[in-house]
Amino acid sequence: MQGYDSAGLPSAAFFTPGTSSFTEFLAAHRPRLLPTAPPVPPGVRMGPDRFPHGTTVLALTYRDGVLIAGDRRATMGNLIAQRDLEKVHPADDHTAVAFAGTVGLALDMVRLYQVELTHFEKIEGVPMTLAAKAARLAAMIRQNLAQAMQGLAVVPLLVGYDLTAPGGGHGRIFGYDAAGGLYEKRHFHAEGSGSPYARGALKKLYRPDLTRREAALAALQALYDAADDDSATGGPDLNRRIFPVVSVITEDGFERLPETETEELSRETVRQRAGRPDGPHAAP
């Protein structure tokens, strides 16, 4: 069995002092287990439309922390591949990641990132800083560049509550490009095919002093605008009772809004759009 000796015991690699990065450990000893390992032989070109892609995710800071949300649709070319995809995931107690792009690679990358943060904390005895978490995810995306050049890009959105920030803790948002470029965003950001419409909605709805409920409604209004203009983004599905995933991170940690609360807010958003199809106006 791989990783074990003839007596069934873990090999020496597991007991040799080295890096605190689980990703680097896999790269050295089991590179084929990495989600960034080439899935096809060199020279073979893949058709991006043959793989499910996740679409719009967004984040915004608010009075108590940071909120992250995503629609539930995955598309494959002009087909809806999945209607209830989970695009928002906790990375640790005070960090969350959402993704747009190739679903299979993205889910594997999220799982590996979760292990990466846990492994580091166990080896070093302290958690990574939020800035280090953002840089570590950028390095993982950079390892996927070969697949991204073939159309199988993964573009995550990382948020966290920075407990060590000068002047007190606050929410922070980090965006990336397909080559692993890292960019800290102020106030709000969105990724995916519907992101231009979502950012346009957030531009008029955002205020730094939003309550959690107001921030969630702003996120749902932005996702509604994205679904209204982007066929790859799914809006609230009242008949199937499929609603966007909305989560918050505060000083107390990560919390996914209960399904009942998300449904109530989604239905309120739809009721508001019945009276004003173009959405709420910017506050004076």
* Rounded CA separation 72/88 (Å): 10
Give CA separation, 78 vs 49, 52, 56, 195, 232, in Å: 8, 11, 16, 18, 8
Q: Which residues contact 193 (CB under 8 A, 6 or more apart)?
A: 55, 56, 100, 230, 232, 233
Query: Which residue in 36, 55, 250, 262 is the catalytic one?
Result: 55
- Pinpoint the alpha helices (H) of 125-211: 130-142, 145-149, 195-205
Closest CA to 103 of 85, 84, 128: 85
Residue 55 bears catalytic tag: yes
- Pinpoint the alpha helices (H) of 52-126: 103-124
Name residue 196's amino acid: P
Backbone φ, ψ for residue 180 (5° rounding): 95, 10
* Rounded CA separation 61/170 (Å): 8
* Rounded CA separation 21/108 (Å): 16
What one-character DSSP code corresponds to residue 127? P
Q: Which residues contact 72 (CB under 8 A, 6 or more apart)?
A: 82, 83, 84, 85, 86, 87, 234, 237, 242, 243, 244, 245
Tokens encoding 111: 């799982």
Adjacent-strand bridge partners of 101: 54, 154
Which residues are catalytic, by number? 55
